[in-house]
Amino acid sequence: MPIIEVHLLEGRTVEQKRELAGQLTDAVCRTLGTRPEQVRIILSEMRKEDYAIAGRLVCDGN
């Protein structure tokens, strides 16, 4: 059972998340030869003040 964990910055719509989940599932099924019912996806949203790049918070303009 493949489990995919995706970390995203907040702000995506439910429709975008649906599309992402569908595309990821399709890619895993094609690549691994598994059935969609076996694929699990965890979408974790992060606030921009909870994520940093090169030591700077994304909310500060990264």
Residues 9-53 pLDDT 10s: 999 999 999 999 999 999 999 999 999 999 999 999 999 999 999
pLDDT at 5 over 90: yes
pTM of the model: 0.86
Which domains does the chain show, CATH number per domain?
A: 3-60 (3.30.429.10)
Q: What is the pLDDT of residue 49?
A: 96
Residues 15-25 pLDDT 10s: 999 999 999 99
Q: Are 33 and 39 in contact (CB under 8 A)?
A: no
Q: What is the pLDDT of residue 60?
A: 95
Q: Are 46 and 11 in contact (CB under 8 A)?
A: no
Q: What positions carry a catalytic annotation?
A: 2
